[in-house]
Amino acid sequence: MGKVIVVASGKGGTGKTTSVGAISSCLAALGHKTLCIDCDAGLRNLDIIIGMTEYTVTDFFDVLQGRTELLEACAEHPRIKNLYFLPAPAFHGPEEIDADDMAGLTAQIREQFDYCLIDAPAGIGPGFRLAAQGADMALIVTVGDMSSMRDGQRVAEELRSLGVRELRLIVNRVSGRNFRKLSTTVDDVIDAIGARLVGLVEEDEEVFLASNSETPLILYENKRAALQFLQIARRLTGERIPLVKRWSRA
């Protein structure tokens, strides 16, 4: 039985979509059959992050409407074995999609894939609530400022109200110069959100270059951010990969 993970953030600019693409690619590279879904209807761009803009014909709305089967709608990545992609509809908003139907889709996904990462729209609007339907776990992506992390607390509250109890925290785009300053802030947010820290990802120019070239980050071998996302993926599979010593308690 597979695991469905919704990836959320309180605001845009945290690198949430990049995180979805990177972690999905890493899980696939580790040998797990992995599906990533763009749930940002009308504003989809996960296909750019993972280099799949030319490979999709149908979207998850087509599956919900019964126009195609799940596996037929999922596009297989041309370069990364075990990685599949299902885009959001370009012309149908979340208000047109029934929450129970979405939960039914996640049930199908568990039968067909080892892992599924759903890229939720930023914020806590209807699209976010739709993306969380039927999820087993949530990854909350924040950056190293108090505003973003406080938004993450609100996201955590909404996720719990939707029945998602297993929460994990990623602090993204951490720069070396403010790394030490983050310690108290991150500890406070871990306590406030009630989520275990699953990884910190440093600011890395290669992330920007990979996105612009539509190249999955995992294909940038031996790059700092790529290796850190790989560690996150391994932790999600249950491997005991040490965190930075300062936050080893999480």
Whether residue 245 is annotated as binding a ligand: the answer is no
13 is in an annotated binding site: yes
14 is in an annotated binding site: yes
Which DSSP symbol is given to 125? Answer: S
User: Distance between CA atoms of 206 and 209, rounded to whole angstroms?
Assistant: 5
Taking the CA of residue 64 as centre, how many other CA atoms within 13 Å lie in the half-sphere pointing to its CB?
Answer: 22
What six digits make up the tokens of 89?
Answer: 């509809």
Whole-angstrom Cα distance, residue 195 to residue 37? 23
Ligand-binding annotation for 12, yes or no, is yes
CA distances in angstroms from 193 to 88, 153, 219, listed in the order given: 28, 5, 33
- Whole-angstrom Cα distance, residue 237 to residue 210? 25
Q: Residue 6: what are its φ and ψ, rounded to 5°?
A: -90, 135
Longest C-alpha distance within the chain, in Å?
A: 52
Nearest to 235 by CA among 198, 194, 195: 198
How many CA atoms, within 13 angstroms, populate the side-chain half-sphere of residue 159?
32
**Cα angle vertex 174, ends 47, 248, to 5°?**
110
Query: Is the Cβ–Cβ distance between 249 and 55 less than 8 Å?
Result: no
Q: Cα angle at 129 between 28 and 9, to 5 degrees?
A: 60
Binding residues: 11-18
Binding residues for ATP: 11-18
